[in-house]
Amino acid sequence: MHVPVERLDAEDAEEAAEVRLLGELARQRTADAARASRGAGGDGGGGIEGFRPYADLVGGQPDSVPADRTLGWVMNYTSGTTGRPRGIRRPLPGKLPEETYLGGFLGIFGIKPFDGNVHLVCSPLYHTAVLQFAGASLHIGHRLVLMDKWTPEEMLRLIDAHGCTHTHMVPTQFHRLLALPDDVRAAYDVSSMRHAIHGAAPCPDHVKRAMIEWWGHSVEEYYAASEGGGAFATAQDWLKKPGTVGRAWPISELAVLDDDGNGVPPGELGTVYMKMNTGGFSYHKDEAKTRKNRVGDFFTVGDLGYLDEDGYLFLRDRKIDMIISGGVNIYPAEIEAALLAHPAVADAAAFGIPHDDWGEAVKAVVEPAPGHEPGEELAADVLAHCARLLAGYKRPASVDFIAAMPRDPNGKLYKRRLRDPYWEGRARPV
């Protein structure tokens, strides 16, 4: 388990440190005992206090497979970026394991069994999507290359060295790959990549376009959640309709509803709902939350967006992150995309803070790129940059700086950790 302790609050950090310590102690104790057993002529599992030899466990057991086997399933947890993580329980199919095709998920993206595929795992495996992609790849005969820690140049090196054909990424990784010097980018061959599939967070248009220019039509996008999905857009789809996250998966349906649960016309903003035809889910030990986010068989994770007349989905932002200033709705994703277009900005977030007259004012928090010093001069330059790209009511009123943005290792931003201190002792209107 990897938890970025430096980006957690005190309570979470204490728990994460304890988990790390226990994991390290367990590794040391079992590894030392196993080495001692092998050194004494053992098989690495016997002769150790508290352990049973493997031969004892299988001795006298039949060679046939056990009776009444049925396929189990993982219970992934949501990331917890907007609140407490929740377990996602799905009904079990009741089938034999060998009767279940576990790689079908990748077929949505046109990824075939075997076919010389090499999957690059460049994020922690406890993230739902990363685990799904890696597990499905193994089940349909793909080789896996796992990164111990993601860095942009190391990713390029591994793609070149192993001929990696598909991977799951987040926009933050795109942004940092594009920040590499031109000579570093040119030093590696990424032509083997067939499907560089990204999701988990909004991708600014200028970042997406730059990645397509570099990696070609392998750059693909999906929209989904731990609860299910979803939509998928090829590079051609996105170039035809910039900003789209695609059309519904073959196993899914999309709907955009108003606050009363009624469908809205194409082009009209509403809450995005999804339905998977492969089965539903419930939040573990939280039936109230399960019911709250449903309209019939459709569920939502609170994203705002619209469908165009061709069924392509365009996302605007999370409803919980929307800023209301002077009665006007402002969507942070547009502001964050503008901030990220500044060469001195490595990462950025925008959110609402209290304002006595307007209700909320737009606050920007920026992680400076290497070689750029935070301060009044950089803040003024960032605000001037936003003035050139954004309408007046959308522009940040002020900029704060942070050494490292509080993102989880898969790129999701813990925006509430940035926003909450500004609202301490006050009720937020959204």
Phi, psi dihedrals of residue 130, rounded to the nearest 5°? -60, -45
Is residue 121 in a domain? yes
pLDDT for position 11: 38
- Name the domain boundary from 291, 319, 347: 319
pTM greater than the 0.75 cutoff: no
3-state secondary structure the chain: CCCCHHHCCHHHHHHHHHHHHHHHHHHHHHHHHHHHHHHCCCCCCCCCCCCCCHHHHHCCCCCCCCCCCCCCCCCCECCCCCCCCCEEECCCCCCCHHHCCCCHHHHCCCCCCCCCCEEEECCCCCCHHHHHHHHHHHHCCCEEEECCCCCHHHHHHHHHHHCCCEEEECHHHHHHHHCCCHHHHHCCCCCCCCEEEECCCCCCHHHHHHHHHHHHHHEEEEEEECCEEEEEECHHHHHHCCCEEEEECCCEEEEEECCCCCECCCCCCEEEEEEECCCCCEECCCHHHHHHCEECCEECCCEEEEECCCCCEEEEEEHHHCEEECCEEECHHHHHHHHHCCCCEEEEEEEEEEECCCEEEEEEEEEECCCCCCCHHHHHHHHHHHHHHCCHHHCCCEEEECCCCCECCCCCECHHHHHHHHHCCCCCCC
Q: Are 304 and 318 in contact (CB under 8 A)?
A: yes
Instruction: Write the CB contacts of 68 (distance below 8 Å, at least 6 apart in sequence).
Output: none
Q: Assess whether 49 and 23 both reside in one domain.
A: yes
Q: Assess whether 268 and 227 both reside in one domain.
A: yes
pLDDT for position 28: 60
pLDDT for position 137: 95
Is residue 63 in a domain? no
Q: Assess whether 294 and 360 both reside in one domain.
A: no
pLDDT for position 34: 60
Is residue 129 in a domain? yes
- Name the domain boundary from 282, 303, 319: 319
Q: Assess whether 315 and 367 both reside in one domain.
A: no
For the chain, what is the domain count? 3
Q: Assess whether 338 and 284 both reside in one domain.
A: no
Q: Assess whether 383 and 262 both reside in one domain.
A: no
Is residue 167 in a domain? yes
pLDDT along the chain (430 residues), means of 10: 35 44 55 58 60 87 87 80 76 84 84 96 86 92 94 97 96 90 96 94 87 97 88 96 94 93 93 88 85 87 92 86 81 90 94 85 94 94 94 92 86 83 69
Is residue 70 in a domain? no
Q: Assess whether 93 and 235 both reside in one domain.
A: yes
Q: What is the CATH number of the domain that holds 383?
A: 3.30.300.30
pLDDT for position 23: 53
Q: Assess whether 169 and 218 both reside in one domain.
A: yes
Q: What is the CATH number of the domain that holds 112?
A: 3.40.50.12780
Q: Assess whether 366 and 291 both reside in one domain.
A: no
Measured between alpha carbons, how far is 124 from 94 in angstroms, rounded to an integer?
Answer: 29
Q: Assess whether 235 and 326 both reside in one domain.
A: no
Q: Assess whether 135 and 258 both reside in one domain.
A: yes
Q: Assess whether 293 and 407 both reside in one domain.
A: no
Measured between alpha carbons, how far is 229 from 357 in angstroms, rounded to an integer?
Answer: 40
Query: Residue 40 sits in which domain range?
Result: 5-58
Is residue 67 in a domain? no
- Name the domain boundary from 319, 341, 363: 319
Measured between alpha carbons, how far is 372 from 349 in angstroms, rounded to an integer?
Answer: 18
